[in-house]
Each structure stands twice: as C-alpha cells, then as structure tokens.
Structure 1
C-alpha cells in the first residue's frame, strides 16, 4: 500500500480518506460500546460476590446460626448468572464487530498491504442492517460459568457443607437446612446435584468451544 489515504480492493471501489476516517470512528464506537457492556458484566458478578459474602456473614456469625442463607443464595446467584449471560450476548456483538475491523482493516494497514477481499465489508454491512446475536444463550451461559460463576458456586457449596458438618460434628448438622416438609439432608443433596450439573454443563460448553476454535482460525469473529 502506498502512503496515500486510499484502500484499494480487487473487487470493489477504493475507499476515500473520508470513508477510511468513518471506519476509524466506527471502530472507536464499537470499542466504546463493548467497554460499556464489559462494565455491566462486571456489575452482575460483583452482585453475586456481595450476595454470597452476606450469606457467609449471616450463616457463620455463630455456631448456632442456620446455614439456610447459603442454600438460598444459590438461587439468587443463579438469577445473576442468567442476567449476565444475556448481557454477554450483547457484549459479544460489539466485541465481534471490533475484532472484525481489526482483522480485516487494521491488520492489513499495519502490514502495509491492500485489503484482500470486499466480503468482510459486506458481512459487516449485513450485521448492521440485520443485527443479531453471534452466539447462542447456552454458549454464553457456559462461558460465564467457566470464567466466573463456577468459582462462586464452588465457594457457596463448600461453605454450605462446611457449616452443616461443623454444626453438630456430623451428618446431623444438615438438619439446619430444614425447610418446611423438606429435610436438610435432602436439600443438601439437591445442592450437590445442582453443582455437579453446572460443572458438567460448563465442561460440555468448553469442549464445544475448543472444537470450534480448532475449526476456525479466528474464533472471535462475525457469525
């Protein structure tokens, strides 16, 4: 590429300096939006950590304190996980657009090469005309579990069992979880099954991501 402010492509009209500048501002806008949504992701994670901290404070304030808050907080963390997975799908839209521009526009510019094909411009234009999520909800859920929430659920589960087993020095401590007609041991088993199910789901999504990454050179892309 010469030192002029024009991007030549084999199959499409060259971009003028004004059009190149517009793409630069577009990239800045996508980076800004992805940063805003990244902050929103951090907010739900912080809510989960604070909620778990409050449950730990209540349940461990004395030896006779009930471990019930540690069980109930799991449902609240699950709500935050659902919200964060939804937010991650939106965040991924802005991130994918920014990465698309980096790969197909800025990387050739840095190598002093012409843009190879106009197809990437058409793909980006289609995404602006008909915006859609780039990943399924289950994949977003699995990624947030792998990155943050499995660690939070691990602390919650360990604290729950530690409190119950320490309450009476044995399995009788599970009765501190008693809720209405449900015995404490039953609720403890339900918590364990739920934790294992989340772990299995996280592993499954991780395997899916690994398979996709091997098949695609740049996994963080459009489509």
Structure 2
C-alpha cells in the first residue's frame, strides 16, 4: 500500500474488523488470567496474616513476634503482585485502547477514525512490547487497592497485642519491654515498624500523585498505562 493510499484510508475491511474482534477477545482473556493471579497473591497475604494473628492471640503469653515476621511475607507477596500487575496492565491497557478507539467510535457514529492513527499506537505496542508502568508505580497501586488495609490490620494487631497481653499495659516503657526481640530493644523494633508502615504509605501517596500527573500530561498520545 502506497503512502498516499495509507493516508487516505479511513476504513477497515470486514476480514480486518473480524481479526480485531478476535484480537480483543484474546486480550480480554489474557487480562482475566492475570487479574486472577493478582487475587491469588492477595489471598496469600491475607491467609498468612490470619495465621500470624491466630498464633499471637492464641493465649495471653503468646509472643507478638509472628506479627513482625509476617511483615516479611507480606512484602514478598506485594512485590510478586506488583510484578504481576505490570503484566496485567499491558493486557488491560490494550483492551481499553481498542474499546475507546475501535468499539466506541463504531457504536457511536459508525466511523473508526483511522485518520487519528490510533491503530499505529496499538501496532507499535505489539511490535515493541514493554511495561506501561514502572515497578514503583505498580507497587503503589497495589498498596492503595489492597495492601494498605492488610498493613493497617497487621500494625493494629501488633499494637493491640502489646497493649493487652499478658495484662493491660501500664506505661510506655512496659510496652517497649514487651516489644523486645532478642538483643534488639523494643524502641528499635517499634521504630523499624513505624518506618515500615510509613514507607508503604509514602509510596502509595507518591504513586497516586504520579498517576494524577500522568493523567494530566496525557493528551492525544497513548493512554496505555
């Protein structure tokens, strides 16, 4: 096809439309599969936290250390889920791109508006596949969607354990003593815990601001991601 013919082309053949429809179905299927994998890692995080809660609150003399150690597993699951989200976001973005530039115009006025070259953006994404969001943005999004609540429950459970078991805490010094982990004094353990929580909260806030900034900068260019 010559350059002039390509510029003047404003329609797709029936076979090409059918191929795009099948392509869309395939992308929806892939996004669904990866969305299920996101749910799996979230479920693992919830289950491990539930196990830690059961162990720590099994008796007044039970140690609060499981609530500390489960934080390592939660971070591991968060990293896994963020990685999976980056893959999921590729398929989701392609589906959304076809919905907004192929199906919506076709349903609205029967014109695919190929002159806007949206199909070239989609073709380039297939020719040069890449992640649409960086890892930190993916982590922040997953924290905002699910893991912020998991981290809050973990933190509140740990604080509650120190406050009520084996007897109601009488002073801040006593709470720090209960937080001792081997040679580490309770002050350091609590300080690490606060740093742990506020770090994830900070990443969540940063990713929200970054998403807002990206949305404001996005005009007619690819909205994938």
TM-score by length of 2: 0.89
Partner of 2:121: 123
Shift of the 219–78 alpha-carbon distance from structure 1 to 2, 3 Å rule, reads: farther
What's the CA shift for 1:202?
0.9
Give the Cα separation in 2 of the matches to 1:159 and 1:76. 16
Shift of the 220–188 alpha-carbon distance from structure 1 to 2, 3 Å rule, reads: farther
Choose from 157, 160, 166 the match for 1:159. Answer: 157
What's the CA shift for 1:215?
3.5
Partner of 2:194: 192
Give the Cα separation in 2 of the matches to 1:94 and 1:196. 32
Residues 121 and 222 in structure 2, CA contact (< 8 A), matched pair in contact too? no
Partner of 2:184: 182
Report which stretch shifted further, 98-107 or 166-175. 166-175
Partner of 1:3: none
What's the CA shift for 1:118?
5.1
Shift of the 211–77 alpha-carbon distance from structure 1 to 2, 3 Å rule, reads: same
What's the CA shift for 1:198?
1.3
What's the CA shift for 1:14?
3.3
Partner of 1:148: 146
Whether 2:217 is the aligned partner of 1:215: answer: yes
Partner of 2:3: none
Residues 30 and 95 in structure 1, CA contact (< 8 A), matched pair in contact too? yes
Is the partner of 2:11 in helix, strand or coil? Answer: coil
Count of residue pairs the alignment pairs up: 215
Gaps of 5+ in 1: 1-8
Residues 99 and 221 in structure 1, CA contact (< 8 A), matched pair in contact too? no
Partner of 1:11: 8
Matches within 5 A, 1:1-223: 11-12=8-9, 14-116=11-113, 117=115, 119-167=117-165, 168=167, 169-170=169-170, 171=172, 172-216=174-218, 221-222=223-224
What's the CA shift for 1:218?
8.7
What's the CA shift for 1:10?
6.2
Give the Cα separation in 2 of the matches to 1:157 and 1:89. 28
Residues 96 and 222 in structure 1, CA contact (< 8 A), matched pair in contact too? yes
What's the CA shift for 1:114?
1.5
Shift of the 166–174 alpha-carbon distance from structure 1 to 2, 3 Å rule, reads: farther
TM-score by length of 1: 0.89
- CA RMSD of superposed structures (Å): 2.0
